[in-house]
Chains A and B, each alone.
Chain A
Amino acid sequence: MQFERLNAPHVRSTASVPRIMLQVLLALVPAAIAHVWYFGPGFLFNLIIATGFCVASESAMMAARGRPPEDALSDYSAIVTAALIAFALPSLTPWWVTAIASTFGIVVAKHLYGGIGFNVFNPAMAGYVVVLVAFPADLNLWVAPRMGDTDYTTLSLVETLTFTLTGGLPDALTYDAVSRATPLDLMKSGLNQMQTVEEIRALPTMGDFGGRGWEWIGNFLALGGIWLMIKRVIRWQIPLGVLAGLLVPATIAFMIDPGSNPGPGYHLFSGATILCAFFVATDPVSAATSTRGRIVYGIGIGFLIYAIRKWGAYADGAAFGVLLMNMAVPAIDAITRPRIVGHGGASRE
């Protein structure tokens, strides 16, 4: 009898990249629902546009590189990038802003570096930062969270869609009537105007810990993140590193001067903290790779978020923190290489 010859091991991995990406997407679903609940349907439009442009630019780049597009599309990583961009953008974002972020992320940050596995920078954050720097005004249109403000005009589904497609509001409305400064913006400007944290926290868009609405999205993101940890899609080192890097200095500053430093709970449940800790910083391709390296990488991002929120010109610092630490990854990997068994260390007594 004749048999086929194969290479060991003769058991195959059940894990797969598409499966990992789908699990990440699934983990984002509760937070996406919360996002729509609090900030209206804009999120969905952004998600659709981001997905369309991510998928289209991935296909175009694969074709340009002479490879079958389905090779890249079948791992769903472009959709994860699109979802993260949608989470990063305000619910009212003109389509071209979303399109530029998506296209830049996929074309420049991902494929010009060689595609998945070779990209130095997280594509979603690279795309987001480009539009953040290029269109600062367009990224300010966060509508007020539901139940956050009484004298506030809610946009209808059609009005939101019209804005997304044209970048214009119905004639009767002004930007001021529909948008509100984000809690992080309020905190930054308030503190600059010598208000106390106490005063700022009393504003209607503020919630129990962070911003109203944002803190609930944060809860659902954390839920999804913990599920990913249980499923071993992500490991604990990076999320915990990010949270520790942010919350430890925040707690120390809060204890020294609670009047001008918001507490750790506020930092945790505001802005992109939880999204970054569980979904962005944990992107394995652009993160450090050893166990110790990941802790260092996470702490670095967390601390950069704190530093930018506290001293920087931007209200939040997650995207910059991630990109800056992406640059440090080769150095972190080189320094934190684990000791190979049998090399130095334990020896005969």
Chain B
Amino acid sequence: MSAPTFDLGKLHGGMRLEARKSQSTTQGIRDVPIPKQLIIPLKQHVGDEAQPVISIGERVLKGQLLAEHYGSLGAPVHASSSGKVIAIEPSPVTRRYGDKAPCIIIETDGEDQAIEAWEDPVDYRELDPSSLMQKILQGGIVGLGGAVFPTAQKLMQATSGEIEMLILNGVECEPYISCDDMLMRESAASIISGARILMHAMSIEQCLLGVESDKPEAIRALEDALSTYDDDRVVLKQIPTIYPSGGEDQLIQLLTNREVPTGGLPSDVGCLVQNVGTAAAVHDWIVDGQPLLSRITTISGDGVLNPINVRARLGTPIADLVEAAGGYTDRAEVLIIGGPMTGKSISTDEVPVVKATNCVLVLSEAPSRERELPCIRCGECAEVCPVNLLPQQLYWHACADNEDKLREFGLVDCIECGCCDLVCPSHIPLTYDFRMAKARIRELEDEKARAERARRRFEAREQRLKLEERERAEELQRQKDRARKTGKAAIAEILKRKRKKDD
């Protein structure tokens, strides 16, 4: 295999957004006090729900396994503090669909007593890649950039030998969010160490670390850490500050000038992307023996008094985080989990911090929803689309519900970054419309699949009936033949007997 080249690629479109990050980076990361109750969802990742291995009433310790992962895709869940399990029941969470999900509820005792049996740290270099991956799986580690794909299972792609490069994502391009920035500033060494562990797990020798150029403190910290490790396999790359350069495919394009093919995975171009937070979590688990129990979350927006980054135990109610940020201002109106571009707006702050919660954004006013006007085809949306789509044409076909055209114009390639919404002079909610259109197409496909199954069942039944009929006809024929044969013989017999009698 020839050595890969690292041309810095260019992104189509994108936007320079007002960063609004400095308000939450003036202070260091602060710990949130242990909440009275921890609400720990069984599913904080892509894949199957984890299965509880504790029972109600049981006392659990910090770091203890609460729910185990079975099946092909998923991750285990651990207790983030000590206390008593008081319920395993559906509770409000920050999911996109359906508002409640099964959670383990722990009443904390405030002692924060950790399990003693945290495994003795082993030197990961002595582990072979597959047992290292197995160990990463046990740590409950998932992608902390927000997509929460189980890390171990992502790494397993490397076993096919397709991956040649690890890419660490330290871009954090959405406004307000600064949790990765703060992590890079404060724990750069853990990130580099995590990168080395990840490379070992995949048996690869290349790692690119992409950071947006507007984070000089983070870049300095990473450079220092890199010089300490003196590992020339890890290369730090600054990328231009353009939203959405932190999208997985966009970052690959920027760093390697390779395009992930439509419907494909980064592995198709030899890359595997992990968030810097994930790398640090891998380090914490493999080197320090601490599973994923907490994460750094940005609390920001003009709806909180004192924007800040916190390290919060998984399961801590969002309300407690807001408390740590000085509480709501009088004008707080909108609560968003994630950034202003792609975040989810939720109705209650009683939901817990989960592995995906990178930001809690409180805005003082809902963005004024101006009246939607007809599209004037100005094409600004196409100018900013990072995937080079024609959103105005997609919108047209979405209105007409033209499934074929939507496919042809690349609806599936839309990454829902929200740029087109932001420049539209007609205030058309394009991103929302595209999400809906995608859902409709999925529905149609499901329906088609169902119809196809029904058709096959029907045809099979028809065939079966035909077969049965033929068999019945053949059987009847056989009986007739037999009857004819036996009939003749019987008549002959009767005649014979009759003749005998007559004699």
Contact = CB atoms under 8 A, between A and B. Distances in A.
Nearest to B380: A15
Interface centre among B261, B368, B371, B392 (most CB of A within 10 A): B261
Interface centre among B363, B383, B425 (most CB of A within 10 A): B425
Contacts of B370: 12, 16
Given A117-B374, A342-B259, A10 B432 contact: no
Contacts of A4: 333-334, 345, 347, 366
Given A8-B345, A290-B390, A338-B382, A13 B424 contact: yes
Interface size class on chain B is 35 or more
A239 B393 CA distance: 23
Contact of A341 (B5, B386, B431): B386
B240 interface: no
A71 B372 CA distance: 10
B389 interface: yes
B376 A116 contact: yes
Given A290-B379, A337-B390, A340-B413, A12 B347 contact: no
A93 B369 CA distance: 44
Interface centre among B264, B270, B366 (most CB of A within 10 A): B366
A349 B2 contact: yes
A118 B368 CA distance: 26
B421 interface: yes
B345 A341 contact: no
Contacts of B260: 342
A203 interface: no
Interface in B334-349: 334-336, 338, 340-349
Given A341-B249, A341-B253, A20 B347 contact: no
A289 B382 contact: yes
B12 interface: yes
Q: Classify the secondary structure of A's interface with B.
A: loop
A342 B328 contact: no
Contacts of A347: 258-259, 261, 269
Contacts of A338: 382, 388, 390
Contact of A75 (B270, B334, B347, B373): B373
Contact of B345 (A3, A17, A333): A3
A233 to B, nearest CB: 9
Interface size class on chain A is 35 or more
Interface in B388-432: 388-390, 392-393, 409-410, 413, 416, 418, 421-427, 429, 431-432
Given A2-B347, A341-B386, A15 B375 contact: no
Interface in B258-288: 258-262, 264, 268-270
Interface string B137-173: 0000000000000000000000000000000000000
B71 interface: no
Given A16-B427, A349-B2, 12 more contacts: A1-B348, A3-B333, A5-B345, A6-B334, A11-B341, A12-B422, A16-B425, A17-B376, A284-B376, A333-B393, A337-B390, A349-B5
Q: Which 7 pairs across A and B sit closest by C-beta, in order of nearness?
A: A9-B418, A117-B374, A12-B367, A15-B425, A3-B335, A342-B262, A340-B410
26 contacts: A1-B349, A3-B346, A4-B333, A8-B336, A8-B340, A8-B418, A12-B427, A16-B370, A16-B426, A17-B373, A117-B426, A232-B380, A235-B379, A235-B383, A289-B392, A289-B393, A333-B393, A340-B388, A341-B386, A341-B388, A342-B387, A343-B262, A343-B410, A345-B259, A347-B269, A348-B270
